[in-house]
Copies of this chain bind each other. A is one copy, B any other.
Amino acid sequence: MAATIKAGIVGGAGYAGGELLRLLFLHPHVELAFVQSRSQAGKLVSSSHPDLLGETELTFSAGADAPVDVLFLCAGHGEAAKFLAENKVLAATKIIDLSQDFRWNEGTNTATVEVDGRSFVYGLPELQRERIKGAQHIANPGCFATGIQLALLPLAQQNILTSEVHVSGITGSTGAGQSLSATSHFSWRTENVSTYKVMEHQHLREIKRSLLSLQPDNQPDIHFIPYRGPFARGIFITAYLKSELSLEEAQALYSDYYKDHPFTIVTEQNPDLKQVVNTNKCVLHLQKHGEMLVITSIIDNLLKGAAGQAVQNMNLVFGLDESTGLKLKAAAF
């Protein structure tokens, strides 16, 4: 049996922090040393995450300086970099950051980012599992970025992702975090649909960088329409592009690419989002219409798109089986 991993969380009162807590409480090899929250310091963790009632008497801490084996940063975009600038973290502590602060920088086409003497490996196991295993610091991918990359990696690895890619994707409300805004109000969002950041979603940067790391000589345009949908959890993505592969060839390529990746599953059934809600899975489905190859990719934005993938990365970094603590009962309904 593996030794116990001591873990700390920075920013534990938000959505990603809450999911991480739920997972780590169930993880057989993790002991939680602290859960920090600026806004909730001193309060019960179960007051912010009432589903944890009966499972923990832990309170949020103000500080995050107890020594731990792994530190998860759920502090939010910009806040993660700030935290590391202002706080000392022991050199031996592994860091897994869920913000976008260390996912990408200008002028590199390998999926590793250097910041202030730290080297952050981009934590998409299906792209670079071996590099993650040896990493000291992990930049956990964005939710849309995860779903879209998993739809495209097998093509890029074969250097055949060469024509324009057209992507539409719909995200649930938890993707925007728990801050209150006009578009997060129930009265507005229920039974409603809208788009945002049309053609300009920030995740396109990390997606393009990853694809470039696989096929440095080809960089097709990616056009992306992100939708907000009237549901809480999950991302449903459709991508299509001109491809010379037959359906059977494409299915064989994708099945082969993902055959050793436990969470990414290629299916011939037409998928629906709730298949993956409350799991760490990505389900992929392929269709061919004329010369267009159409790829559907669905994930739970808070799990495979955030906290679940963070735990998957932790498992890899600490030499555990990749699925440890991540065999989750789907909500299904």
Are B192 and A274 neighbours in the complex by a CB distance under 8 Å? yes
Are A269 and B26 neighbours in the complex by a CB distance under 8 Å? no
Are A281 and B180 neighbours in the complex by a CB distance under 8 Å? no
* A270 close to B (CB within 8 Å): yes
* Binary B-proximity of A273-296 (CB < 8 A = 1, otherwise 0): 111111101010001011010101
Are A234 and B193 neighbours in the complex by a CB distance under 8 Å? yes
Cα of A200 to Cα of B294 in the assembled complex, Å: 12
Are B265 and A53 neighbours in the complex by a CB distance under 8 Å? yes
With A173-B190, A187-B15, A187-B184 as known contacts, state yes or no: A199 contacts B292, CB within 8 Å. yes
**Residue picked from A52, A229, A236, most chain B C-beta under 10 Å:** A229
**Residue picked from A166, A186, A190, A270, most chain B C-beta under 10 Å:** A186
Cα of A279 to Cα of B174 in the assembled complex, Å: 20
Are B225 and A269 neighbours in the complex by a CB distance under 8 Å? no
Cα of A168 to Cα of B292 in the assembled complex, Å: 15
**Stretch in A17-25, A31-39, A128-136 touching the partner:** A17-25
Are B289 and A200 neighbours in the complex by a CB distance under 8 Å? yes
Cα of A277 to Cα of B281 in the assembled complex, Å: 20
**Stretch in A83-91, A140-148, A323-331 touching the partner:** A323-331
* A248 close to B (CB within 8 Å): no
Cα of A22 to Cα of B184 in the assembled complex, Å: 24
Nearest B residue to A168, CB-CB: B168
How near does chain B come to A293, taking the closest CB pair, in angstroms? 11
Q: Taking A54-B283, A227-B238 as given, write out 17 further A-B residue pairs in contact, using a Cβ cutoff of 8 Å, ordered by the A residue number.
A: A19-B332, A23-B329, A166-B223, A168-B225, A170-B227, A178-B185, A184-B185, A186-B186, A187-B232, A188-B274, A193-B272, A194-B270, A195-B238, A199-B240, A199-B294, A229-B230, A278-B278
12 contacts between A and B (CB under 8 A): A22-B332, A49-B332, A50-B269, A53-B275, A54-B283, A170-B227, A178-B185, A188-B272, A191-B232, A193-B229, A198-B289, A232-B333
